[in-house]
Amino acid sequence: MSAVAQALLQVEDLKVHFPVGGGLFRPRALVRAVDGVSFSVRRGTTFGIVGESGSGKTTTALAVMRLVELTSGRILLGDQDIGALEGEALRKVRRRFQMVFQDPYASLNPRKRAGDAIREALDLMDVGDPAGRPQRARELFLQTGLRPEQLMLFPHQFSGGQRQRIVLARALAANPDLVVCDEPVSALDVAIQAQMLNLMQRLQKDFGLTYLFISHDLGVVRHMCDDIAVMYLGRIVEQANRESLFERPLHPYTLALWSAAPSFDPRARGRGRRIRLQGDPPSPINVPPGCRFAGRCPFADARCHSEEPQLREVLAGHRVACHRVDDAGNALYPLEPAG
C-alpha cells in the first residue's frame, strides 16, 4: 500500500473521445484518443509515457492538465479529484500542476518581455505578495540558468534552449507539485538538450518535483524516467520501472519500439535483433476489435484478433496487455519472428 500512499497523481480509467466529421448524410465518427488509461505517479519521481504519434500520449497529458474535456475517468492529485473541479475552483488548484510544451517558440508571447511572462504567471496564480514578485522572478531566472539582466529581453532575443528555460521558470513560478512535460526537449539541438535535461533533474532534486514526461525519444525517456508506460492507440500496453522495461520488454510493440531505436554501436548494426513494424499506426477512429496492435504484430494469433487483452501484472510492478505473454512474465512467442 505504500506505493499508493506516496502517489501524487492517480489517473483512473481515463477516457477522452472526440467526435469528428459528420455531415448531412454521414454519421459522426468518434476518435478514441485515450481509451481507458490508469496509472499512478509517485511523489518526487518521473513517470514517462512513450508511443508513436496518435498513441494518445499528448492527449493524456492535456487531460491531466484539464486542457481537454474528459469523457470519463478520475484524476486525483494528492487526495483532490481535479477531474471533477470546474471554474474558479479549478483555476485555484492549477498552481499545483503546471505544464511545459514542446515548442518553445510558440509557448511565449513574442510581444512580452521574458520577465513579464514570469511576473504574469505569479500575478495570475496570486503567488506571494506583489512587492516581492520581481525578486521572485529574478530567483526563478537564476534557478533555470538564465541571467537576471535578461529579464528585460523579448523572446526573439533568446535561443531555443533559453526559451525553454523561460517556459520552465514560468511553470515553476507557482511552486507546483507536478510538472507535465510534453516533449520538452525534442525541439532542441543535442547539446542543448543535455543542458535542459540536466537542469530538469537538478530542479527535481532541489524542489522535490514530480514530472509526467511525454516523449517519443527512447533515449531521453531512459535517461529521465523512473517508471514508464508504453501507449498504443489510446491504451497502455505495457508499464514497468525503467530497468524492467528496458532490460525485459514483454509486449511485442515495446520490443518493436526498442529495436527501432538506433544503437550507438556501429558494429552491432544489421544483426537479427529486429522486429520491424510495417506501415503506420492505424487510426484511432476505427479501432479494430481484439488487440489493437494485432494488425501490425508479427506474433498475433486468432485470439488476438477477437479478444482484447487486459493490462495485468505479470512480474513485480510490471504490467502488460498481451495474450502472448503468460502470467509468469514469459513470452509465448518466438524471439525471432517467422519470415
Partner 1 sequence: MSADVRADGPAREAAGVATRASAANGGPLLDVRDLCVEFQTRKGVARVLEGVSFALGPGETLGLVGESGCGKSMTALAIMRLIPDPPGRITSGEVVFDGQDLLKLDDATMRDVRGNRVSMIFQEPMTSLNPVFTVGEQIAEAVRLHQRLERRAAHERAVEMLEAVGIPAARRRVDEYPHQFSGGMRQRVMIAMALACNPGVLIADEPTTALDVTVQAQIFDLISDLRDRTGASVVLITHDMGAVAEMTDRVAVMYAGRIVEEGSVEEVLEEPLHPYTQGLIACAPGRRTAARGEPLEEIPGTVPSLLERRGGCAFADRCKHVQPRCRELQPAELRIAGGRRRVVCWLFADGGAR
Residues in contact with partner 1 by CB under 8 A are: 52-53, 159, 161, 189-195, 197-198, 201-202, 216-226, 242-243, 246-247, 256-257, 259-267, 269, 274, 276-281
**Cβ-based neighbour number of residue 28 at 10 Å:** 9
Residue the block writes with cell 479478444: 307
Least distance between partner 1 and beta carbon 103 (Å): 13
Give me the least distance between CB of 198 and partner 1, in Å please.
5
Q: Per-residue DSSP letters for 154-197?
A: -GGGS-HHHHHHHHHHHHHTT--SEEEEESTTTTS-HHHHHHHH
Q: List the beta bridge partners of residue 30.
A: 19
Q: Which residue has cell 481509451? A: 35
Beta carbons of 14 and 75 less than 8 angstroms apart: yes
User: CB 197 → partner 1: shortest distance, Å?
Assistant: 6
Give the nearer residue to partner 1 in terms of CB position, either 261 or 335.
261
| Contact assessment for residue 167 and residue 102, using Cβ atoms and an 8 Å cutoff | no
Closest CB to partner 1 among residues 175, 201: 201
* Least CB distance to partner 1 at residue 316 (A): 17
DSSP 239-305: EEEHHHHHHS--SHHHHHHHHHSPPS-GGGTT-S---PPPSPPPPSSSPPSS-TTGGG-TT--HHHH
Give me the least distance between CB of 224 and partner 1, in Å please. Answer: 7
Residue nearer to partner 1 on the CB measure, 101 or 232: 232
3-state secondary structure of 142: helix
According to DSSP, residue 98 is labeled E
Nearer to partner 1, 263 or 330 (CB): 263
Strands 72-77 and 46-50: unpaired
Nearer to partner 1, 113 or 223 (CB): 223
Q: What is the nearest approach in angstroms of partner 1 to the Cβ of residue 228? A: 11
Distance in Å from the first CA to the final CA of the chain? 46
When the beta carbons of 87 and 272 are compared against partner 1, the nearer one is: 272
In the complex, least distance from residue 23 CB atom to partner 1, rounded to whole angstroms:
19
Phi-psi map region of 309: left, alpha, beta (phi>0 left; psi -120 to 50 alpha): beta
Rounded to the nearest whole angstrom, what is the least distance from the CB of residue 237 to partner 1 in the complex?
14
Q: How far is the CB of 300 from partner 1 (least distance, A)?
A: 17
CA atoms within 13 A on the CB side of 194: 2
Minimum CB distance to partner 1 smaller for 54 or for 83: 54
Closer by beta carbon to partner 1, 137 or else 196: 196
Residue 202 or 303 having the CB closest to partner 1: 202
Distance of alpha carbon 48 from alpha carbon 231, whole angstroms: 10
